[in-house]
Structure 1
Amino acid sequence: MIESCVKNIELIGQRFDPYYYNPKFEVIEHKLSKLKYSTIGKECIKIFSGITPKSGGDDYTNQFEGIPFIRSGDFIEDNQLDFNGLNYIKTDVHNKLMKGSQLKQFDVLIAIVGATIGKVGVYNYNLEANINQAICAVRFKDHINPFFVQLFLLTNLGQTIIDRLKRPVARANINLEEIASIPIPFLTIETQKAIVDFYNYAIKTKQAKEQEAKTLLDGIDDYLLKELGIELSENTGNEKYFEVNVSELVGERLDPFYHRIEFTNLFEKIRKKSSIKLRDYIMSINYGASVSNDYVEEGIPFLRIKDLLPNEIQNDDIVFLPYEMKDQLKTSFVSENDFLITRSGTIGIAAIVNNEFDSYAFGSFMIRFSTKHINREFLSYYINSTIGQIYFGRNKIGAIQGNITIPTIKDLPIPDISKEKQDEIAEHIQSIKAKAKQLQKEAEEILEKIKMEVERIIEGKSR
């Protein structure tokens, strides 16, 4: 157990929680003692955060009529925003209710609540936008380069300062006054720019590694289709009309979407090459548990739809259910080598359960199944391929929030290829993913080295 001894005089005007005085933060004072520094509060024009209008309420609108509403999960360190993935608020809300949190280009964004706390970016667009309460925005004076501030806050020293400020409660947070107290090196605007230029030049090596990894991963789908001898139709589904024989409707759905030409062409190609339905490989299958989200600190680990990625289960935000709910969960537990597949929301995303997640419970928006006589990795890649996604997109039911059922999963056509060919395809894809993962690791290592070098340069320039 770590204890902190703090003199009473040190608590005047300061925090009272032991975490703030943890000895691991002594490095902050040590490093700052060697620097000339000011604080964010002294060097800014404005510090502010926003609010969050009621989810699904009348304050929201579409992308073409509204103002971008940025949340802490929307911005990233490279300062790029996916405007297609943002929520949008009405102009009237932006100009009245949320007037005080309107962004301007070059505002520094700092995540101050929850899991993303400590993330730092710069709003780099000359477009109107607004933020929620989980983001603090800082507008600096002209002699402060916002990109330099971002770089400093992303260094080990900067992140340690932020880490010290956050309160270690169920939902970590930092207030605006504490953001204002954050020290920043006092350098000339020319020196700040030189450091930013150095970082931008060095980061190109990292980006090249990431692009190489992306190219490899993007090529997996083409490789799989080529090995299966399946060529996707160039038809885009933009026909004004198309004809379907009455015989093709027998026992099938009657809606036009299901019978789009590119769908029928693709699955006709698979049928002609000989295929086996997934049901012939399935040993057991069942839906997940529909339970209330009464999460606890310690209990039964529970997988949600957000934990599932193509060919992967992520473990960075696992929640727990009370042990007393075990009977209620019944058969909604996974075993190693089971499959999980999403059945609602982003449907048809599948992954194999590895030993890390053995005996975890899973929710009702997923379906579990176990298989026999098929290479599991091959099947996972196939389900997540363009073919699998087209199949599940075609067969989803429900107008508002589409979903798939167990019969739909069982009817997925699998090209009838030998087990040896399945093994060959799976091994080749695994080698591609391993190479891409290595490139991504190298990119992250480059980033950490750059941050360390930036911190070293700052220390040398600010003495």
Structure 2
Amino acid sequence: MNWQVLTVGEAVVRGYLEKPLDGNHGEKHPKAEEYVKNGIPFIMANDLKDGTVDFKHCSFITENRAKKLDKGFAKDGDVLLTHKGTIGITAIMKKLPSKFAMLTPQVTYYRIYNGLTQEYLKCYFETDYFQKVLRMRSSGATRAYIGITKQLELPVMIPNIGNQASFSRFINSIDKSKFPATPSPLMPCQGAAPSARDLSKM
């Protein structure tokens, strides 16, 4: 069997991922009056554009202010996923202009350890199937939201490294809007992939 189907939490336990984290909530969240012209990028959902992070137009905070925060320290190679308000936008953190970036509570980082590639995980997050699951499991009367605890329950399909590369190339070459919200049409790799019915039981 070339495919594993795990929850995000199981992928963390098995060493594929570090536990995902978002930015600081409540009183620790930096305020607009604390923004500076240059410094540590402070990444919001609308800074994720075309699969990358827009460092040119994002907000910044000082390094001293950033060091007072508890979490949300993102670095190059992290896969980002928006999870509040506008959910499901993805990007890979690349070419950081500083030591690290800070995330707002709208964005989660997924940091890969072993057995996954950043490009594969980003492409998987963009599939119709995953996007549908994300919407179904989000809550909120006025703004969609899926917190870290719920994100740990999301399904992750993990093929071998060779199949991950094939998957990524295929996803990047097609118009995904033409496919239904099931995983099988988006997986042109050798070996049987789990069915949508199996995934829906997770």
Quote the residue 1:335 is aligned against. Answer: none
Aligned ranges 1:267-416 → 2 under 5 Å: none
Correspondence 1:45 to 2:18? yes
In the superposition, the TM-score normalised over structure 2's length comes to 0.77
Mapped to 1, the partners of 2:182 and 2:120 lie a distance apart of 14
Correspondence for 2:163: 191
In structure 1, runs of 5+ residues without a counterpart are 1-34, 204-445
In the alignment, which residue of structure 1 is the partner of 2:83?
112
- Maintained 8 Å contact 1:195/1:454: no
Quote how far apart the aligned CAs of 1:451 are.
8.7
Conserved? CA contact 1:122–1:150, under 8 Å: yes
Larger radius of gyration: 1
Amino acid at match of 2:120: F
In the TM superposition, residue 67 of structure 1 has moved relative to its aligned partner by: 0.9
**Cα distance in 2 between the residues matched to 1:110 and 1:456:** 23
- Distance in 2, matches of 1:459 and 1:98, equals 43
Are the equivalent residues in 2 in contact too, given 1:117–1:172 (CA < 8 A)? Answer: yes
1:61 corresponds, among 18, 36, 49, to: 36
Q: Which position in structure 2 is the counterpart of 1:133? A: 105
Identity %: 22
Secondary structure, counterpart of 2:150 in structure 1? helix
* Separation (CA, whole Å) in 2 of partners of 1:120 and 1:451: 20
- Does residue 101 in structure 1 map to residue 72 in structure 2? yes
For 2:7, the aligned partner's letter is: T
Structure 2 match to 1:157: 129
CA distance in 1: counterparts of 2:176 and 2:185, whole angstroms: 14
Residue of structure 1 equivalent to 2:177: 448
Distance 1:85 1:455 in 2: 38
Structure 2 unmatched runs, 5+? 12-16, 195-202
SS in 2 for 1:177: helix
Pairwise CA RMSD of aligned residues?
2.5
The verdict on how the C-alpha distance between 1:97 and 1:141 changes in structure 2, with shifts beyond 3 A counting, is same
**Distance in 2 between residues matched to 1:82 and 1:136, nearest whole Å:** 16
1:171 has 2:143 as partner? yes
Could you tell me whether the CA contact under 8 Å between 2:127 and 2:176 is conserved in 1?
no
- Change over 3 Å in CA distance of 1:458–1:198 after alignment to 2: closer
CA deviation vs aligned residue, 1:134-174 (integer Å, no higher than 9, x gap): 11111122211122122122211101110111114122211
Does residue 122 of structure 1 match 2:97?
A: no
Partner SS for 1:84: coil
Which protein has the bigger helix share? 1
Q: How far off its partner does 1:74 sit?
A: 0.8
Q: Per-residue deviation at 1:39?
A: 1.8
Of Structure 1 and Structure 2, the greater strand share is in: 2
Structure 1 runs of 4+ with >6 Å offset: 450-454
Judge conservation of contact 1:154–1:451 (CA < 8 Å) in 2: no
Question: How many residue pairs get matched?
Answer: 179
Write out aligned runs for 1:409-428 (5 A).
none
1:142 aligns with 2:117: no
User: Is the 8 Å Cα contact of residues 79 and 124 (structure 1) preserved in structure 2?
Assistant: no
Take 1:459 and 1:36, find their aligned partners in 2: how far apart are those partners?
Answer: 16
Instruction: Indicate the structure whose relative CO is greater, using CA pairs within 8 Å and at least 6 residues apart.
Output: 2
